[in-house]
Amino acid sequence: MRGPHNIWRLIRTGATLERTGAMRAVLDALEAPAPLRIAARVLGRPFRWLGDEGDPAMPPVVRALTALGPAYIKFGQILSTRPDVVGDDMAQELRVLQDKLPPFPIHEAKRQVTEELGVPVDDVFSYFSEPVAAASIAQVHKAVLHDSGETVAVKVLRPGVERAFQKDIDAFYFAAWMIEHLSPASRRLHPKEVIAHFEGVVSGELDLRLESAAASEFAANTADDAGFALPAVKWPWSGRRVMTMGWVEGVALGDNDALDAAGHNRVNLSERVLQLFLNHALRDGFFHADMHQGNLKVAANGDIVAYDFGIMGHIDEYTRRVYAEILFGFIQRDYKRVAEVHFEAGYVPADRDVDEFARALRAVGEPIFGMDATRISMGKLLAYLFEVTERFGMETRTELILLQRTMVVVEGVARSLDPRMNIWKVAHPVVEAYIKESIGPKAVAQDLWKTAVVMARFGPRLPKLVEAALIRQSQPETAESPSPWPARIAWTALGSCLGAVVMLLVLMAG
């Protein structure tokens, strides 16, 4: 229930941060101003005794997030990819949240596998290891299939994880409700819609059948991508709470020393991981939305291997084109065009000044160019961009939340491999190629063809629609007579179909 009882959950959150020492560590890492530090101290200390103590063996922030539960751990995973925001030391500490959390007992995992598959574990697997990786949602066991002898990875959901997530989501909804009521200006950011989006993403991650389907679709899309590989889903041994895939051998993408020892080129890897993400997002509109180091390995042949497909992002073709034009405009330093795209897409209210918005975007983009990548503070850049969006009344686009979040995570992963990487330079060839493919004459022809195909489905119905339209047009309209909208639809459908076909023939002839 999303009610005031969630105040208790939020108080416990602040108290846990204070009791574990995480509050001060976070404020130091974010270089928080004095007023915020004072407010946190005043509000946190009286309730300190209510907080969860956590595991004293862990660093403060990891200790607090682990004690608070899976939703908070997800947030920590994102921060672990942003050393430019939280600092190198804290980012390194938070890496344990990716796949090194305390596991649950193997007997519980075997019980769940038996219940889900309907057969005893020993009848399916000749070998079933202790947990080899444990994250916020599930843990992974190495196993060997009884029939084929193939080595596989078996992913099993944590017991009670659904209920734990729902408790956090309820508290987040209550916090969003409070924010909207206490700060009306924040409503343009749609806090409740953001939480709803997060809830939808998490719900998909809690059903491993959906993850298996996502992995299968992702594999089909990326089959021809050089330097990229995915493990295959073993459908007969997968279900809602259990997922079995091929075993992945390789070096963790976050272990720079091991990558260097294996002879892998980290500069090349940093560029490839960013370009792969952009290709998947722009070309396919379907991308891995949890691409932190814990979900990526480098195979012996140099391929980047991705796994854990619980969070996948999808964006429609129109939004992909808008996003690509915005990125390309920044790359080309054409801030006027970037501003125009925002207005054309309806991201900025039409009553605002496009030239003024372009100047504000220039202030965001120009510091990036000509500056050593190691000196760029993404935290400060995002803070200023937030100020710009607030000044111009831009509303949060929930369909872009996952894309933007993943972009931040992937850039963090790439920067951890090569701190001097310049995101704009690396992104340029991918975005430029997509722009040429999606906005040029070839794209126009493809759009017309798709339109003609859709309209052709109405072919058998067009004669009757036109006949009905002509009859209605010939009858005098009375108060009781129906609106002539079917006639307009019929004529529009016929005109659109013929127009699309004619345009397509003209283009083909040219």
Cα angle at 461 between 456 and 462, to 5 degrees?
A: 75
Residue 276: CB atoms within 10 Å? 22
Distance in angstroms (rounded) separating the CA atoms of residues 202 and 200: 5
Question: Residue type at 479?
Answer: A
Residue in the block written with tokens 């959906």: 210
Q: Beta strand pairing status for 304-306 and 286-288?
A: unpaired
Residue in the block written with tokens 């007992």: 105
* Sequence-ordered list of residues with C-beta below 8 angstroms from that of 488, at least 6 positions apart, any chain: none
Contact 382, 367 (CB under 8 A): no
Distance in angstroms (rounded) separating the CA atoms of residues 312 and 218: 9
Contact 333, 422 (CB under 8 A): no
- Residues in a beta bridge with 251: 298
User: At 103, is the secondary structure helix, strand, or coil?
Assistant: coil
Question: Residue type at 27?
Answer: L
User: At 58, is the secondary structure helix, strand, or coil?
Assistant: coil
DSSP state at residue 282: I
Beta strands in 216-343 (DSSP E): 228-229, 242-246, 251-252, 286-288, 296-298, 304-306, 312-314
Identify whether 99 is a catalytic site residue. no
Both tokens of 309, joined, read 């497909």
Contact 323, 400 (CB under 8 A): yes
End-to-end CA distance of the chain: 62
- Residues in a beta bridge with 154: 141, 244
User: Quick one: how many helices (H) and strands (E) in the chain?
Assistant: 24, 10
CA 151 to chain centre: 30
The catalytic residue among 290, 303, 308, 351 is: 290
- Residues in a beta bridge with 286: 314
Distance in angstroms (rounded) separating the CA atoms of residues 355 and 342: 12
- Name the residues annotated as catalytic: 290
